[in-house]
Structure 1
Amino acid sequence: MNKKDLFKAKYLLSNLGKGLLWLLVIIGIFLVVKKYYGNVYQDFMDAISNQPLLVFLVFTCSEVLFGIIPPELFMIWAMKAKEGSQISYILIVVALAVLSYIAGIIGYYFGLRFSKSNLYISLRDKFAAQFEKNVKRFGGYMIAVAALTPIPYSAVCMLTGAARFNFGNFLLLGIFRLARFLVYGFIMWQVNKI
């Protein structure tokens, strides 16, 4: 294995570790809130469970704007929205995954079309400058890493578009985003049974 491949593997494993740590934190908070603040949790979930369009809109905006709200919180909502129906939960998680994938495409096109604009430069400098070097260095590999880990997926997609990465390859590598949602969705479903 050459140095570049070794660095890429370490980078992926490091970010997967951060992702798993973040998932454990969310699971821990979820379980504590559910156990010790059950009434507050139940009231909040009841208030939003009947407003799926609003929740999907908030999720989509969050995903387009660099994943401000962790997707796992929406998976928690999905469990409550259909009161334990596993099929409905799976369909909602798949819908969330597809929306996240589409948000990445929007980010790609934003970077492609507006990479010379002041707005793009401002957003890049504020939210994504730390990833730009690795996007240029690793290209498609960085798309897969962002799709699987807590690295802001939409920001990487925006940088990838600005770098004029091949769109077909971008779409193919973005499928890793769907895999992340399905795996995390499964984990969240199992945790809810605790």
Structure 2
Amino acid sequence: MKLSPRIQFLIKNGLKGFVWLLVILAAYFIFKELVLSYTPDAWIDKIYAKPMMVYLAYCFSEFFFGLIPPELFMIWAINKDTIAHYFMNLTFFAVVSYIMGYATFLIGQFFYKRAGFKRFRNTLLKEQWPLLKKYGLFLIIVAALTPIPWSAVSLLVGSAGYPSKRYLKYALFRFLRFAIYGYIIFQTHNI
């Protein structure tokens, strides 16, 4: 049975996302063993003493093409407090990601058909533009579930003139990503 190109695209990027998560977790565990185990107070106090800075950095990152992977913030949250607090943070991260994606989608819609933005789209988003033409709204689902830059795809989809209701419906897959990755991080942390 041959899989459709869309399903192949989803599987390929899903595997990339899983590998990316494993790399982040491995780097975290190595950092924890080699650095944090010798000077834990120096690092933990600086990061955990200013949670508002972490939340602002996350919001900034999610708006500007996911500069920092959300999984790093999940790792920060699991080490911060109780399990309930971790799941509240996870929910916060998912909601912010969804909202920031929609904000960039709206920016894309605002600039739809403007010549200056078309040049911007054709230079900075040149890799994602052919994917949008090939996969359409399916790209939203793939970007929501995988490491493809969420805000960039949202901006691209908005700049292509896709309807808001359809975008918002397919963007709900972003919550599934946070649930899956959050669960994996939770399980690996509690080993």
Q: TM-score, normalised by structure 1?
A: 0.90
| 1:19 lines up with 2:17 in the alignment | yes
Tell me the distance in 2 between the aligned counterparts of 1:136 and 1:192: 40
1:155 corresponds to: 152
Aligned letter for 1:56? Y
Question: How much has 1:54 moved relative to structure 2?
Answer: 1.2
1:38-187 aligned within 5 A = 38=36, 39-40=38-39, 42-82=41-81, 85-115=82-112, 116=114, 118=116, 121-122=119-120, 125-126=123-124, 128-187=125-184
RMSD of aligned C-alpha atoms?
A: 1.9
Give the direction of change, closer, same or farther, for the CA distance of 1:51–1:150 in structure 2 (3 Å limit): same
Tell me the distance in 1 between the aligned counterparts of 2:41 and 2:180: 25
Tell me the distance in 1 between the aligned counterparts of 2:52 and 2:115: 32
Aligned letter for 1:44? W
Higher helix share: 1
SS of residue paired to 1:66: coil
Unaligned regions of 5+ residues in structure 1, if any? none
Tell me the distance in 2 between the aligned counterparts of 1:165 and 1:40: 50
Give the direction of change, closer, same or farther, for the CA distance of 1:69–1:163 in structure 2 (3 Å limit): same
Report sequence identity in percent. Answer: 35
Q: TM-score, normalised by structure 2?
A: 0.91
Give the direction of change, closer, same or farther, for the CA distance of 1:148–1:41 in structure 2 (3 Å limit): farther
| Greater than 4 Å deviation, 4+ residue runs | none
| Alpha carbons 1:139, 1:165 under 8 Å: kept | no
Query: Which of 169, 178, 191 lines up with 2:188 in the alignment?
Result: 191
Give the direction of change, closer, same or farther, for the CA distance of 1:182–1:124 in structure 2 (3 Å limit): farther
Question: How much has 1:80 moved relative to structure 2?
Answer: 2.2
SS of residue paired to 1:69: coil
Q: Deviations over 1:112-135 (max 9, x none)?
A: 112426367436522x21111121
Unaligned regions of 5+ residues in structure 2, if any? none
Aligned residues: 189
Give the direction of change, closer, same or farther, for the CA distance of 1:90–1:133 in structure 2 (3 Å limit): same
Question: How much has 1:45 moved relative to structure 2?
Answer: 2.7
Please identify, of 159-168 and 130-139, the stretch whose mean Cα deviation from structure 2 is larger: 130-139
Please identify, of 48-57 and 147-156, the stretch whose mean Cα deviation from structure 2 is larger: 48-57
Question: How much has 1:91 moved relative to structure 2?
Answer: 0.4
Tell me the distance in 2 between the aligned counterparts of 1:185 and 1:107: 24
SS of residue paired to 2:65: coil
Question: How much has 1:40 moved relative to structure 2?
Answer: 4.4
Tell me the distance in 2 between the aligned counterparts of 1:40 and 1:180: 33
